[in-house]
């Protein structure tokens, strides 16, 4: 159990980067961007292809980020210059990316143009490289003997290096996002999502800001995809299906639990939401009568509940408030009438 | 009013605009509009609904482009310049108090957006220490105690407070032209009075060249040094600086009847 939860925390921290990207479009730009399902795979495919060809995994990951940025910008251009509705722009780009991703993965093969997946079992990844340095520090042994002997768990994770590495990366990205959203450009992007007419009257080009925002968002999504490919040691053309809903679930769960008072708090909520989602996922998989393939259904149900429950709660509160006011008023009237009667 | 005679800051030349051309809904919104503004002019614009007042404002701001004619600001032809580029020169306050500010952002963040109107936006922090002090002193002018609520979200403010903030944001980078489009119409009378007072104060302080559309005739007479009346897409009456101080509402009604040969449509909007 411990190892399973540990693994889901590791993955959750990596998916948090994707969730931050989804937050940037859905919440900040108010643009429901469905490119994510495609750009997540684009990141994974680009990184896996380059690693398979023998490039340095750090360089491969950087190229994945660039590829995601370009994909996002394309969606932005479809919407702003092509005047296509936001949802449709994202869907078009997502479907286009499916073919493009197969081509990207095909670049790693000598005798094929397209490839549906790339295994990285024996390749060097960011994680294996980090492990080379981390393994020599002896921290893993110390931590695991503590877990086995002091806490009494049977099994312990094979390494603590991965979780530490992804945690550092995600926290850095969270802080960069916080900083960026408070810069002049960041403020303009937020205002674009909030009130386009207003920001245009303050000489900001909303079209460029939307393109830039979508680019950054999908760069983060592709980054997350590149890390997941290296973490799970394979890239697959279908690994992005439903990614947007997972991202949205993370944003909604996080916001519901931690609130959205400030930017700092909201991005923290999104990261925590992604980790919590993975833990729910791990627990759900332990239920006997559920199959791995049911997870998409469960994800959809989580998002639906997270969207509907707050409305129901609000309505009930409103009703209770009204009923209370009404009974107070009736009470006052009765007192007044009673007074008259006596007089 | 530091009006400089002989210099033209804003020039509208032969502006025409037809909406829904070639359909049964065809409407001539602007019909050969010519208007010259000198630096420091404060022109109030009155006219009934559909007279073309807002369309003319949108032509100046760049939200709409004319079918014919040109818009010249400070000697530069800006007719084809998109709205976001033109807004370097133009500050604008809309009728809807919700339109001029970003509700989910704080007061200081909104001010920071307005502050970077003339500069290229970069990766500098939007709200720096120095700017914060400037924002605070600027807000003090409104006397609404907003200077102590810099971190409050604008969505939490009342309509009047939001409109006062919009007005400050539109003016504090000293735009070449200030456009006020019935900016007091959606407010209750006491708030409207406050905003009118602030408008006068901010325009005078900045010596801003201003165009103000209003439904309220008395307001149009009280504010500014010139007045124009529009009807059916045309400017039908211009009252200049020398005649404006003695103007009364009955004067305007008689003028209208003289020009149009019909009684002024005394709808609520026009009489204010």
Domain segments of chain A as ranges: 2-286, 298-343
Chain centroid to CA A227: 13
Domains of chain B: 10-103+158-271 (3.40.50.300)
pLDDT computed for residue B3 by the predictor: 53
User: A281-284 contacts: CB < 8 A, separation 24 or more?
Assistant: A281/A8, A282/A4, A282/A5, A282/A7, A282/A8
Q: Which of B208, B226, B124, B122 is nearest to B172 (CA)?
A: B208
What number is the average pLDDT over the span A311-322?
A: 88
Nearest CA in chain B to A184: B126
Contact with chain A for residue B176, Cβ under 8 A: no
Q: Is A132 helix (H, G, I), strand (E, B) or coil?
A: helix
Are B92 and A201 a contacting pair at CB < 8 A? yes
- The DSSP H or E segment spanning A78 is helix A57-80
Half-sphere exposure in the Cβ direction for A178 (13 Å, CA): 17
Query: Which of A30, A183, A191, A203 is the best substitution to test chain B (most B C-beta atoms within 10 A)?
Result: A203
Judge whether B196 and B202 are in contact, CB under 8 Å.
Answer: no
Residue for token pair 């491969």: A60
Percent of chain A with pLDDT over 90: 63
Cβ-based neighbours of B258, under 8 Å, separated by 6 or more? none
Please judge whether B117 and A202 are an interchain contact, meaning their C-beta atoms are less than 8 angstroms apart: yes
- What is the pLDDT at residue A337? 64
Report which of B91, B180, B194 is spatially closest to residue B143, judged by C-alpha positions.
B194
Report the percentage of chain A scoring pLDDT > 70.
97
Report the 10 Å Cβ neighbour count for A26.
21
Residue A215: which of A37, A15, A57, A33 has the closest Cα?
Answer: A33
- Using an 8 Å Cβ cutoff, are B62 and B78 in contact? yes
The band of A295, judged by pLDDT with boundaries at 50, 70 and 90, is confident
What is the Cα–Cα distance from A108 to A118, expressed in whole angstroms? 8
State whether B112 and A187 contact (CB < 8 Å): yes
Most confident of A127-141, A150-164, A284-298, B126-140: B126-140
Best B126, B153, B166, B172 member to test A by mutation, with max A CBs in 10 Å, is B126
**Facing B113 at nearest CB: one of A180, A191, A206:** A191
Class of domain A2-286: mainly alpha
**How near does any CA of chain B get to the CA of A174, in Å?**
17
Q: Which residues of chain A make contact with B118, given a CB cutoff of 8 A?
A: 203
- The CA distances from residue B161 to B99, B110, B156, B171, B173, in Å, are 13, 13, 10, 15, 19
Following DSSP, what letter does each residue of A112-156 receive, concatenated? Answer: -S--SEEE-TTS--HHHHHHHHHGGG-HHHHHHHIIIIIS--S--
CB A170 within 8 A of CB A15: no
- CA A145 vs CA A137, A139, A140: distances in Å: 15, 10, 8
Predicted pLDDT at A273: 94
Residues of chain B with pLDDT under 70: 1-6, 262-272
Interface touch B109/A185, C-beta < 8 Å: no
Which of B121, B166, B177 should be substituted to probe chain A, the one whose Cβ sees the most A Cβ atoms within 10 Å?
Answer: B121
Tell me how far apart the alpha carbons of residues A171 and A177 are, in angstroms, rounded to a whole number.
Answer: 10
User: Cβ B84–A206 below 8 Å, yes or no?
Assistant: yes
Q: Are strands B234-239 and B226-231 parallel, antiparallel or unpaired?
A: antiparallel
Q: Are strands B234-239 and B76-77 parallel, antiparallel or unpaired?
A: unpaired
Q: Which residue, A192, A215, A229, is CA-closest to A71?
A: A215
Binary contact (A200, B83; C-beta < 8 A): yes
pLDDT at residue A155, as a whole number: 72
Size of interface A-B (CB pairs under 8 A): 88
DSSP bridge pairs for A50: none
pLDDT of the residue at A266:
96
Pairing of strands B68-73, B76-77: antiparallel
Per the structure block, which two tokens stand in for B220?
């149009």
What is the predicted pLDDT for the residue at B268?
42
Quick check: B112 contacting A, CB < 8 Å?
Answer: yes
Pairing outcome for strands B177-181 and B209-213: parallel
Half-sphere exposure of A22 (CA within 13 A, CB side): 28
Q: What is the DSSP letter of B127?
A: S
Distance CA B12, CA B2 (A): 22
Q: Give dist(CA B192, CA B219) in Å, integer.
A: 10
Q: pLDDT at position A336, please?
A: 63
The CA distance from B108 to the nearest CA of chain A, in Å, is 11
How is residue B155 written in tokens? 């969505």
CA distance A198 to chain B (A): 5
* Cβ pair B126:A186 closer than 8 A: yes
CA–CA distance, A36 with A14 (Å, rounded to integer): 15
Model confidence, pTM: 0.88
Angle subtended by helix axes B107-115 and B159-171, to nearest 10: 30
Closest of B20, B195, B2 to residue B94, by C-alpha: B195
Nearest to A200 among B84, B103, B105 (CB): B84
Q: Considering chain A, what is the average pLDDT of its residues?
A: 90
The distance of B115 to chain A (nearest Cα, Å) reads 9
Residue B68's DSSP bridge partners are B16
Residue B90 to residue A201, Cβ atoms within 8 A = yes
């Amino acid at each position: 159990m411990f190892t399973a939860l540990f693994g889901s925390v590791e993955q959750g921290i990596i998916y948090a980067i994707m969730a931050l990207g989804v937050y940037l479009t859905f919440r900040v730009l108010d643009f429901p961007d469905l490119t994510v399902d495609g750009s997540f795979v684009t990141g994974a495919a680009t990184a896996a292809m380059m690693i398979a060809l023998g490039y340095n995994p750090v360089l491969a990951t950087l190229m994945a980020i660039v590829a995601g940025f370009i994909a996002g910008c394309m969606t932005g251009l479809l919407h702003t210059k092509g005047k296509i509705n936001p949802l449709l722009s994202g869907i078009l780009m997502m479907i286009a990316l499916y073919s493009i991703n197969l081509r990207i993965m095909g670049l790693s093969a000598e005798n094929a143009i397209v490839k549906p997946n790339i295994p990285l079992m024996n390749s060097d990844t960011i994680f294996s490289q980090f492990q080379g340095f981390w393994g020599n520090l002896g921290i893993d042994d110390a931590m695991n003997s503590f877990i086995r002997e002091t806490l009494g768990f049977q099994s312990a994770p094979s390494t603590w290096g991965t979780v530490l590495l992804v945690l550092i990366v995600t926290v850095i990205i969270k802080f960069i996002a916080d900083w960026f959203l408070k810069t002049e450009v960041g403020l303009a992007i937020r205002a674009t999502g909030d009130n386009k007419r207003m920001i245009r009257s303050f000489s900001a080009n909303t079209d460029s800001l939307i393109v830039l925002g979508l680019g950054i968002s999908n760069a983060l999504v592709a980054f997350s995809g590149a890390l997941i490919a290296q973490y799970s040691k394979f890239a697959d053309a279908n690994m992005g299906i439903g990614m947007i809903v997972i991202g949205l679930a993370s944003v909604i769960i996080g916001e519901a639990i931690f609130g959205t008072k400030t930017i700092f708090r909201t991005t923290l909520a999104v990261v925590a939401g992604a980790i919590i989602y993975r833990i729910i996922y791990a627990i759900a998989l332990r239920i006997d009568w559920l199959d791995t393939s049911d997870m998409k259904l469960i994800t959809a149900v989580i998002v639906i509940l997270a969207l509907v429950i707050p409305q129901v709660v609000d309505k009930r509160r409103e009703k209770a408030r009204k009923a209370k006011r009404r009974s107070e008023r009736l009470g006052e009237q009765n007192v007044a009438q009673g007074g008259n009667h006596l007089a | 009013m530091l009006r400089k005679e002989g210099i033209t800051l804003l020039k509208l030349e032969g502006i025409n605009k037809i909406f829904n051309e070639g359909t049964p809904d065809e409407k001539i919104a602007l019909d050969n509009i010519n208007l010259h503004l000198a630096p420091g002019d404060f022109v109030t614009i009155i006219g009934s609904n559909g007279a073309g007042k807002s369309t003319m404002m949108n032509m100046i701001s760049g939200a709409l482009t004319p079918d014919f004619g040109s818009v010249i600001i400070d000697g530069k032809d800006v007719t084809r310049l998109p709205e976001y580029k033109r807004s370097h020169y133009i500050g604008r306050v809309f009728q809807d108090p919700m339109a001029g500010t970003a509700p989910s952002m704080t007061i200081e963040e909104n001010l920071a957006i307005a502050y970077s109107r003339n500069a290229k936006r970069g990766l500098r922090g939007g709200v720096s220490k120095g700017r914060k002090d400037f924002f605070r002193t600027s807000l003090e002018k409104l006397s609404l105690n907003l200077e102590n609520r810099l971190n409050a979200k604008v969505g939490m403010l009342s309509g009047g407070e939001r409109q006062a903030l919009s007005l400050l944001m539109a003016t504090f980078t000293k735009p070449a032209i200030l456009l006020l489009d019935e900016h007091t119409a959606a407010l209750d009378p006491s708030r409207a009075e406050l905003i009118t007072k602030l408008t006068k104060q901010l325009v005078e302080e900045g010596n801003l060249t201003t165009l103000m559309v209003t439904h309220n005739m008395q307001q149009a007479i009280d504010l500014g040094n010139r007045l124009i009346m529009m009807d059916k897409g045309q400017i039908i009456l211009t009252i200049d600086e020398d005649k404006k101080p003695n103007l009364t509402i009955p004067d305007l009604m008689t003028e209208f009847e003289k020009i149009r040969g019909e009684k002024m449509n005394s709808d609520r909007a026009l009489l204010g």
